[in-house]
Amino acid sequence: MKAVILVGGEGTRLRPLTCNTPKAVVPILNRPFLEHLLDYLRGHGVTDAVLAMGYMPDPIQSCLGDGGQLGVRLTYLVEDSPLGTAGAVKNAESYLDEPFLVFNGDIITEIDLSAMMKRHKELKPKTSIALTPVDNPTIYGVVETDPQGLVQRFVEKPTWDNVTTNMINAGIYILEPEVLTLIPESTPSMFENYVFPRLLEMGERILGYPSDAYWIDIGTPEKYLQANHDLLVQQVGTGIQSEGKSQIHPAAQIEGPVLIGGGCTVAEDARLRGPVVLGPHCEIGQGALVQGAVLWDHSRVGEEALLSNCVVCSYGYVEKGSRVSDNCVLGEGVTLASGSILDRDTKVWPDGWTGLNATRS
């Protein structure tokens, strides 16, 4: 099967991580996010993907090229204006003459895609939708199915007294090509509130494929941080992994899981308490404490600074004695002056950034 990966969004919820970097290539364990997704697809035999792009397409294409180094073949389609999830796939119709996959471009998962494809071939529905359980279904749209797994109803943000299932749309679909005839050309439309309900109205079968395998949407800084932590524990366990030559002082204290990019410097009495990710060419000053944090390339942490469960984007600098609390984000190139304190959940935008929908806290 071919896959269409939806990477056209601006990543507004993920800002300031996405002020200057498309969500599709924000680093997860020092690799562009899409590389993880393409590895996953290749592991299930999917080696041909169409990237439906809109916002900041050039950095994505520059990063991934033709996909050959990843063992896949990539086709790039750029929307002139946002077309929504369904409209973006309609835009790729000329490439889709057989059943195909659709992926929201912000998902990391271990759902058994091969088993889902097998089930689709057995039951031959018009569409299959991967479903994943959540603790609080009232903030999502849930999907009700019958004992055979066929979708009966979509319920948007049910109240607790109306909750009949905790299974939500996981953003992974298998579609028969004829479904595309329902989607208007060059017009914004969504699978979730237009195409799928329309199929049910027509009496067509939609298969729900439930799975309790790992699944996360990296659409917010908090989820982005969690995904790095989860994958680091999975990949490294409690160990320390180095991606190249770095200078680690013998008196530095490192407790895994920790991933250290090439060219890093960790000074005397600096402490790294995992899960921690250091991008390439990061510097950790003497006596600094970095715990639960993700630092992008060329970030610097001054002497005696404290970072806890936060993200520092490329070329960020936390100066001497500063404190950065849980769920804080320093945007690209931001310098936090000596002795500063960032309270929990504070987001600091890159200097001078004036993108659409900018908000600051």
In this structure, the chain runs to a length of: 361
pLDDT value of position 202: 95
Contact by Cβ (8 Å): 154, 197 = yes
In our burial notation (b when 16+ CB lie closer than 10 A, e otherwise), range 184-199 reads eeeeebbbbebbbebb
Sign of the dihedral through C-alpha 187, 171, 197, 150:
positive
Distance CA 242, CA 282 (A): 13
Contact by Cβ (8 Å): 177, 95 = no
Q: CA distances (Å), 327 to each of 29, 96, 240, 253, 348, in order?
A: 17, 41, 23, 23, 11
C-alpha distance across the termini of the chain, in Å: 44
- Which run of H or E residues covers position 227? helix 221-236
The low-confidence residues of the chain, meaning pLDDT below 70, are 352-361
pLDDT value of position 156: 81
Q: CA distances (Å), 86 to each of 27, 185, 190, in order?
A: 27, 10, 5
3-state secondary structure 236-270: HCCCEEECCCCEECCCCEEECCEEECCCCEECCCC
Long-range contacts of 36-40 (CB under 8 A, 24+ apart): 36/108, 36/231, 37/5, 37/103, 37/105, 37/107, 37/108, 38/64, 38/67, 38/70, 38/72, 39/70, 40/108, 40/109, 40/110, 40/113
pLDDT value of position 357: 40
- The angle at the Cα of 170, spanning 169 to 172, to the nearest 5 degrees, equals 105
> Catalytic one among 2, 157, 245, 320?
157
Domains of the chain: 2-219 (3.90.550.10), 237-348 (2.160.10.10)
pLDDT value of position 354: 53
Q: Is 347 helix (H, G, I), strand (E, B) or coil?
A: strand
DSSP 57-79: HHHHHHHHTTSGGGT-EEEEEE-
Residue 157 designated active-site: yes
pLDDT value of position 157: 81
pLDDT value of position 66: 92
Contact by Cβ (8 Å): 128, 120 = yes
pLDDT value of position 81: 86
Phi, psi at residue 250, to the nearest 5°? -55, -25
Closest CA to 87 of 168, 193, 12: 193
Contact by Cβ (8 Å): 156, 141 = yes
Report the relative pairing of strands 27-28 and 31-32 from DSSP bridges.
antiparallel
pTM score, whole prediction: 0.92
DSSP 152-217: EEEEES--GGG----EEEEEEEEE-GGGGGGSPTTS---IIIIIHHHHHHTT--EEEEE--S-EEE
Distance CA 48, CA 3 (A): 6
